[in-house]
Amino acid sequence: MKVQVLGTGCQRCDTLYRNAVEAVERIGGEEAVTVEKVTDQEVFFRLKVYVTPALVIDENVISTGKAISVEQIESEIRKYISGADK
């Protein structure tokens, strides 16, 4: 599973990235999850993200324009792990 934080390097982008890393750490070894920062605007346009920061899980945009909490991110990741998103 791939979690991406799309952003230009603003404070909210950095906060969202830190929250995503912490959420993945809380989940632990249950699932192979990687977190990456993405600053490439071509990726933003491909995913139709026009407001940053954005949280993306496996190419699905979860949130845009705000730094959601660790708990919210953890909940979203767990939905994907369990298959509840499908």
Block means of pLDDT (10 residues each) for the chain, 86 residues, are 94 97 86 91 96 96 97 94 72
- Name the fold adopted by 2-82: Glutaredoxin (3.40.30)
Task: List, in sequence order, every residue forming a beta bridge with 61; answer none if it has no partner.
Answer: 56
What does the pLDDT read at residue 9?
87
CA distance readout (Å), 18 to 37, 84, 85: 10, 25, 23
Q: What sign does the CA torsion over 60, 64, 66, 72 have?
A: negative
Q: Which residues of 64-77 are buried (b: 16+ CB within 10 A; e: fewer)?
A: beebbebebbbebb
Q: Which pLDDT score is estimated for 36? A: 96
Return the domain boundaries, the chain.
2-82
